[in-house]
Amino acid sequence: MQLSRILIRELTDFQMIELREIPINGTSEDALRSFPIVIGLPEAQAIERRLKGIAVKRPQTHDLLASVIGSLGAELVSVEINSIDDHTYYATLKLQASDGEIVDVDARPSDAIALGIASRVPILVEERVIESASDQT
């Protein structure tokens, strides 16, 4: 999946991002599925800064996490949105430790996506989540 848009309305308590399937093998644009995820303003702003390549003077939370992961000799290999329950999405950071072991770390999707965009790793969504999100929108 890819982040297809971000909607920031600073006067509201919630913001929105939309994930959309990446076209493969000539898939028509009309056949691509997408779904929104509601997130907070700080996370939306962090994602927007990363997309626009805007540097900040001091590390933000996602920068800190990326630094910790690297300092421990690990690498973020993907972000996976793996569950939805009552309109709440759940995500996992897939880290590869220095010994090659894959470690799963529970994360909010907004944090995972912000970190994933900064690290340029794939955003994966389980099929059942896409189907369930389509049913709920």
Domain that residue 86 falls in? 2-136
CA distance 58 to 76: 21
Beta bridge partners of 20: 2, 34
* Per-residue pLDDT tens listing for the chain (137 residues): 999 999 998 788 789 999 999 887 766 777 789 999 999 888 898 899 888 888 889 988 888 999 999 999 999 999 999 999 988 999 999 999 999 999 999 999 999 999 998 889 999 999 999 988 876 65
Q: What is the distance between the alpha carbons of residues 94 and 40, in angstroms, rounded to a whole number?
A: 23
Q: What is the pTM of this model?
A: 0.86
Contact 117, 47 (CB under 8 A): yes
Which CATH number is 110's domain given? 3.10.690.10
Closest by CA to 3, choosing from 98, 77, 133, 112, is 112
Q: What's the structural domain count of the chain?
A: 1
